[in-house]
Chains A and B, each alone.
Chain A
Amino acid sequence: MVWELVLWFIAFVAVISLIGFSAYQLICLSDLEYDYINPYDSSSRINAVVTPEFIVQGILCILFLLTWHWFPFLIMAPVTYYHIKLYMKRKHLIDVTEIFRALNEEKKYRFIKLGFYCCIFIIVIYRLVTTAVMLLINEDEWNLESGMF
């Protein structure tokens, strides 16, 4: 039961970081749109966090698989697959020369991803809390039971 709590806690941290990565990329893109930074900086900043994001997401997905948490795994799997495909095609990084032409699509893509991560976040936090509560209750019960006997 405790390892369950640990798992969800790890997932919680991971999802927070995923949300952070996505939000950071979005901020870079909108800064670019409003001309606060130049395309070179913007794309290099974004590209710096793309790979970490993919890795964290992949690890989280595998973690769910290994711990037999089917539901979150199935939700995460398509995104993982999509990331792998992008990576294989070498399309995962932003192209500085075409960044303005692709700006709106990139923003939309990242918004969707951010939304997805938020959904995951809700699930994770729910499971984290339930697990924690269950653990506490069980402990109490156990204590109770042990007290009875």
Chain B
Amino acid sequence: MEQPTFPGRPTSSFPTAPKASAPLRSSGPIVGLDGSIPSRAPTPFASSGPVAEFGSSFTPQTTSPFFSSVPAVGPQPANFGELPPPIRPSGPSSPPSYQVQNVGSYQQMQPARYHPIAQSSVPLGSPPFIGQPRGSPYTGSFQPQSQTPTVSMGLTPQSSSQMIPRNTVPQLSEPSFTATKIPSQPPLHAYSNVPPRSSIPSFQPDPQFHASGPVSQPPMQGFTPAHVPARHASPYAHQSIVPPPPPIGGPLGYTSRDQLQHPLTGPPLGGVQSLVEEFQSLSVGSVPGSLNPGVDTNLLPRPLSGDEISTKIPEMYHLNCHPRFLRLTTHAIPNSQSLFSRWHLPLGAVVQPLAETPDGDEVPVINFGPVGIVRCRRCRTYINPYVMFTDAGRKWRCNLCSFLNDVPAEYYCGLDASGRRSDIDQRPELCKGSVEFVASTEYMVRPPMPPLYFFLIDVSVSAVRSGLLEIVAKTIKSCLDDLPGFPRTQIGFITFDNTLHFHNLKSSLTQPQMLVVSDLDDIFLPLPDDLLVNLSESRHVVEAFLDSLPVMFQSSVNVESALGPALKASFMVMSQLGGKLLIFQSTLPSLGVGRLRLRGDDLRVYGTDKEHILRLPEDSFYKQMAAEFTKNQIAVDIYAFSEKYTDIASLGSLAKYTGGQVYHYPSFQVAIHHEKLSYELGRNLRRETAWEAVMRIRCGKGVRFTNYHGHFMLRSTDLLALPAVDCDKAFAMQLSLEENLMTTQTVYFQVALLYTSSTGERRIRVHTAAAPVVTDLNEMYNQADTGAIISLLGRIAIENSLSQKLDDARQSIHLKLMKSLKEYRNLFAVQHRLSGRLIYPESLRLLPLYVLALCKSVALRGGYADAPLDDRCAAGYTMMILPVSRMLKLLYPSLFRIDENLLKDGKESQEPLIQLPLTALNLDPKGIYILDDGFNFVIWLGRMLPADLVSNILGADLAGVPDLSKAVVFEHDNPISKKLLMILNRLREKNFSSYPSCRLVRQGEQPRELSLFLANLVEDPTAGSSSYVDWIFQVHRQSQS
């Protein structure tokens, strides 16, 4: 059941635990084979407490205290029989020796256990269970994980002496503490009956507040100034300390909240430190809400040291896929609807199925050959490390649906003594969370398609004038060698203004032929084929075309743009094969079907119920087109360049439903955007792309994915159609519970992406992960992943902004944050006097900041004046596909001061930059700062900078550069400029997905400084939104009430 998973956590301090757990895991099925005990097998675990239990199997006597505290066990046995045999996560991996031991100890233990239970609640505090001599060493080993033992141990002088130094802050209090404790048997009774082993909160304070009133005060005082730094410094990081949740088998029958919390993890044993570290807190002034901050702004949590969000695989689930592929918002699934309803944050996952892997950690490719891919017959789950082999290896039990499948004869392999397959090391699918299967023909509805790139280029006057056409043509040409899938790659072009120009690229021609169709109402293809050609055959024609493209339309004065008809035409060309359609649009579509009109400049609409309509596609034509595109496996990427309104909201819906992406270059200028455009277009063309893909995420019984967020189209309730998908796209989904009470101890997730690789092979990429089911809210908080939560919250908020006012969308995420912190506070506040402190779990310490940043992000910030409608929509579309790390970077950009590095020479200039909090208070008018949000660099030049430094960077005197908005950072022949470029390149190397272009802004240069730079300083108050400190006050106040 669940326990097995937990003992793993305290590895460091309790070396035996993990081993002990292994046998327990594997024992379930093994015992099951005996036939005699199966139904009872789970009982001991179920009934008993958490970690302590394992200890107890080694030292039987000590068990009694734990049992005594479980009054509810009595009625439960009825349930146990129903419990399914536990599905053990890493069963097969357990070493053989333990198994034997385990079964033995198991059976012995069972009767031993039950007796105490029966007697249980009555003689709680009675002498017999003071097995101190044995108990105390044992506690010693456990200390960090569970406090349960301590409660009982507290009775004896020995153990109390152990506790004292840890538990009470001032030494003075110790005597009083022990003194009160020892004589008072009755109070102890009370303890152990109700919350002793369970909740941290209830127990912890007890010693403190209970024992001696006055004692509690000093610590409190001591906390406020001291505890915050202590938290940072302390090795007792929250997550590391608190043990994972205890088994749930037992609590099945529990209903009341107290009881639910019962098996809760104990808080760290030990003194003030642990008391403090149980949660994170921030003292916020005695008068909540007062503007004079009682908060030390330096102590506010900030993500300054790189990626602080843990991306490591939880230890006890080392078979899980890497978090870069799948991140759960909390690595603990609530076991009941009531618990779920107390988790106010989204519960779900962020999946990036094709995430780039570092060298040496590639996803292994497996070819099952004629055997076919081994899958569960009932739920179609792919074979994975968590399946259990039984019946001497002839059967395997699906971990998602518990169905017993036959092992195909060719796949058969015997089991060793521990129940592991002996060939496990040669089979990556049985020891790795991420694998890729080569799919046979049964996974194809048609022959795998070749990679196909089709370009739809607007050649109206604005595109020609801005120089865009030339960059696009050059970039495409430079990428021709690198397009994936040689020699099958297909390519084609349509250009359009008020007419459509088809280009015949037949390989027998020497020059491309242009065919003009001017009838926009009744589109037809002038040629049956040759509009789409094989690149390797027609290479010379394609090159000739790209060379002549910028020149061809040089003299064009056409301002119209017939995007709608052009879309229809490209659909006709591509519909046979599918592929990728890249649209370069530089004006508002003005002709034919799908013409759009200027909207969004109406100030009055903002704040009304019609506001959101501006962010929705105006014409249903685009949605219908998108649906048709997806149906025919066509993905659409939009490149939009315009100074004026282009209605990204409408155009973007093409990308939204086809798995595409929106690239927006507002007020495109060749000088500034040249490199960015050619890098990003180049990456789009070069990166490995998965074609005609579908993705499904399966999960175990009891949970179901309900809502999906991202760029895709749902083909059935849980099947995402992705005409093309690549490593830069992530998808988010929300989970809901289907049952009131979950009976399993672990929930498994399996992401399967079936796609055609560029080489023409059909493949299935499978990521498997397991997460424990918990009964305890605190555990959910401890295992929370801020990055995934923010990613999901952001997507939900953006979707809400399509049907609500911006303000409402922001409010709803505020509300979620408040509710969750309030709920968390309720776990602790009763026991601690925390009035002056905001408390939050360590795992969510950055959540308030990121929520604030989310509300200030371009997509959601302010109202009409705060962001142009197109920018807002484009940012929304971008955020819907961003992977977690890039999302966090975008929300909380990095700010560095670089003038010192520029002035230093030699190696010193290579020093790593120090990331600064995003507030204008940090800006020194004598400094140069660089803001990097992953998409753009903004270089901020202080007002009092030495003139020579600026002129070195600009390559000219500042006075000679009237307009910094046109200034470009490129390398000049001086060391400072070279160093600057080096710094920029170093920053760019951290992220290959996008190429930040560099903007310069001078202090006091309005309005550019505000829109480019100051608006990104999320910790400062901006129009209509609070600063970080105020925000913390607000959060504190609202989470209290």
10 smallest CB-CB distances across A and B, nearest first, come from A100-B714, A35-B716, A96-B627, A97-B657, A97-B623, A97-B627, A40-B631, A97-B626, A100-B717, A97-B713
Q: Which of A34-49 touch B at CB < 8 Å?
A: 35, 38-40
A95 at the interface (CB under 8 A from B): yes
Tell me how far the C-beta of A26 lies from the nearest C-beta in chain B, rounded to whole angstroms. Answer: 16
A26 to B620, CA, bound (A): 24
Q: Does B624 touch A at the CB level, under 8 Å?
A: yes
Scoring B residues 280 to 307 as 1 if CB is less than 8 Å from chain A, else 0, what string do you get? 0000000000000000000000000000
B624 to chain A, nearest CB (A): 7
Interface check B686, CB cutoff 8 A: no
Minimum CB–CB distance for A118 against chain B, Å: 28
Residue with the greatest number of chain A CB neighbours at <10 A, chosen from B620, B626, B707: B620
Q: Is A33 an interface residue (CB 8 A)?
A: yes
Q: Whole-angstrom distance from the CB of A45 to the nearest CB of chain B? A: 15
Q: Which of chain A's residues have a CB closer than 8 A to the CB of B714?
A: 39, 99-101
What is the number of contacts between chain A and chain B, taking CB atoms within 8 Å? 30
Query: Which B-chain residue is minimally distant from A90 (CB atoms)?
Result: B620
Alpha-carbon distance A103/B624, docked complex (angstroms): 18
> How far does the Cβ of B713 sit from chain A's closest Cβ, in whole Å?
6
Residues of B at the A interface (CB closer than 8 Å) are 620, 623-624, 626-627, 631, 653, 657, 707, 713-717
Question: Smallest distance from the beta carbon of A90 to chain B beta carbons, Å?
Answer: 7
* Neighbouring B residues of A40 by C-beta, 8 Å: 627, 631
Q: Considering the chains assembled together, what is the distance between the CA atoms of A100 and B733 in angstroms?
A: 14
Chain B CB within 10 Å — which of A33, A38, A90, A103 has the most? A38
For residues 1 through 52 of chain A, which have their beta carbon under 8 Å from a beta carbon of chain B? 32-33, 35, 38-40
11 new A-B contacts, CB < 8 A, other than A32-B716, A35-B716, A99-B714, are A33-B717, A35-B717, A39-B715, A39-B716, A40-B627, A97-B623, A97-B627, A97-B653, A97-B657, A100-B717, A101-B714
State the Cβ distance, B656 to closest chain A Cβ, in Å: 8
* A33 CA to B717 CA, complexed, in Å: 6
Task: List chain A residues, Cβ under 8 A from B715.
Answer: 38-39
- For B713, list chain A residues within 8 Å (CB): 97
State in angstroms the CA–CA spacing of A38 and B623 once bound together: 17
- Which of B624, B653, B707, B717 makes the CB contact (< 8 A) with A96? B624
| Cα distance A121–B623 in the bound complex, in angstroms | 37
With both beta carbons as reference points, the residue of chain B lying nearest to A104 in the complex is identified as B706
User: How distant is B627 from chain A, measured CB to nearest CB, in Å?
Assistant: 5
Provide the A47-65 mask, 1 if CB < 8 A to any CB of B, else 0.
0000000000000000000
Write the nearest CB–CB distance from B219 to chain A, whole angstroms: 51
The answer to whether B717 touches A95 (Cβ under 8 A) is no
- C-alpha gap A38/B716 in the complex (Å): 7
A95–B631 Cα gap in the complex (Å)?
Answer: 14
Q: B residues within 8 A CB of A100?
A: 714, 716-717
Tell whether A95 pairs with B620 under 8 Å between CB atoms, given A40-B627, A40-B631: yes
CA distance A40 to B657 in the complex (A): 13
Residues of A close to B707: CB separation below 8 A:
101
CB-CB < 8 A to B653: which residues of A? 97
Residue in B713, B715, B716 whose Cβ sees the most chain A Cβ within 10 Å? B716
Shortest C-beta distance, A69 to chain B (Å), equals 37
Distance between Cα atoms of A101 and B803 in the complex (Å): 13
Residues of B within 8 A of A96 (CB): 623-624, 627
A103 surroundings in chain B (CB, below 8 A) = 717
| Complexed CA–CA distance, A35 and B694 (Å) | 15
- Give the complex CA separation of A40 and B713 in angstroms: 11
Which residues in A have their C-beta under 8 angstroms from that of B716? 32, 35, 38-39, 100
Would you give the shortest CB distance from A25 to chain B, in whole angstroms? 18
Contacts of A95 in B (CB 8 A): 620, 623
Q: How far is it, in angstroms, between the C-alpha of A99 and the C-alpha of B716 when the chains are bound?
A: 10
| Complex Cα–Cα for A97 and B631 (A) | 11
Taking the nearest CB of chain B, how far is it from the CB of A46, in angstroms? Answer: 14
The closest CB in chain B to the CB of A91 belongs to B620
- Bound together, the chains give a CA A38 to CA B631 distance in angstroms of 10
Of chain A, the residue at the smallest CB distance from B627 is A96
Q: Which residues of A contact B631 (CB under 8 A)?
A: 40
Determine the distance from Cα of A146 to Cα of B218 in the docked complex, in whole angstroms: 110
A 85-118 binary contact with B (CB < 8 Å = 1; else 0)? 0000010000111011101000000000000000
27 contacts between A and B (CB under 8 A): A32-B716, A33-B717, A35-B716, A35-B717, A38-B715, A38-B716, A39-B714, A39-B715, A39-B716, A40-B627, A40-B631, A90-B620, A95-B620, A95-B623, A96-B623, A96-B624, A97-B623, A97-B627, A97-B653, A97-B657, A97-B713, A99-B714, A100-B714, A100-B716, A100-B717, A101-B707, A101-B714
Q: In the complex, what residue of chain A is closest to B658 when comparing beta carbons?
A: A97
Question: In the complex, what's the smallest C-beta–C-beta distance from A117 to chain B, in angstroms?
Answer: 27
Contacts of A99 in B (CB 8 A): 714
Contacts of B624 in A (CB 8 A): 96
Give A103 to B714 CA distance when docked, in angstroms: 12
Assembly CA distance A90 to B234 (angstroms): 61
Inside 8 A of A38's CB, which chain B residues have their CB?
715-716
Contacts of B623 in A (CB 8 A): 95-97
Tell me the nearest residue of chain B to A95, going by C-beta.
Answer: B623
* B657: chain A residues within 8 A (beta carbon): 97
Whole-angstrom CA separation of A100 from B708 in the bound complex: 10
Residues of A within 8 A of B620 (CB): 90, 95
B895 → chain A, closest Cβ, in Å? Answer: 38
A39, B717: Cα distance in complex, Å:
10
List of A residues within 8 angstroms of B626 by Cβ: 97
What's the nearest-Cβ distance from chain A to residue B620, in Å?
7
Q: How far is the CA of A33 from the CA of B715 in the complex (A)?
A: 10
Query: Which residue of chain B has its CB nearest to the CB of A99?
Result: B714
Closest chain A CB from B483 CB (angstroms): 29
Report Cα–Cα, A90/B623, bound state, in Å.
14
Q: In the complex, what distance in Å separates the CA atom of A145 from the CA atom of B627?
A: 70
- Closest chain-B Cβ to A55's Cβ sits at a distance in Å of 21
- Report A3 CB to chain B, min CB distance, Å: 44
Tell me which residues across on chain A come within 8 A of B627, comparing CB atoms. Answer: 40, 96-97
- The distance in angstroms between the C-alpha atoms of A143 and B197, with both chains bound, is 93
Please measure, in the bound complex, the distance between the C-alpha atom of A38 and the C-alpha atom of B713, giving whole angstroms.
Answer: 12
Q: Which of A33, A38, A96 has the most CB of B within 10 A?
A: A96
A101 neighbours in B (Cβ, 8 Å)? 707, 714
Distance between Cα atoms of A100 and B712 in the complex (Å): 12
| B621, chain A: closest CB distance, angstroms | 12
> CA–CA, A95 to B624, complex, Å?
8
Q: How far, in whole Å, are A38 and B445 apart by their CA atoms in the complex? A: 15
Q: How far is the CA of A33 from the CA of B719 in the complex (A)?
A: 12
User: Taking CB as reference atom, which chain B residue is nearest A39?
Assistant: B715
Q: How long is the Cα–Cα vector from A35 to B696 in the complex, in angstroms?
A: 14
Residues of chain B within 8 A of A97, CB atoms compared: 623, 626-627, 653, 657, 713
Nearest residue, chain A, Cβ from B799: A101
For A37, the closest partner residue in chain B by CB is: B716
Measured CA separation A97–B624 after assembly (Å): 8
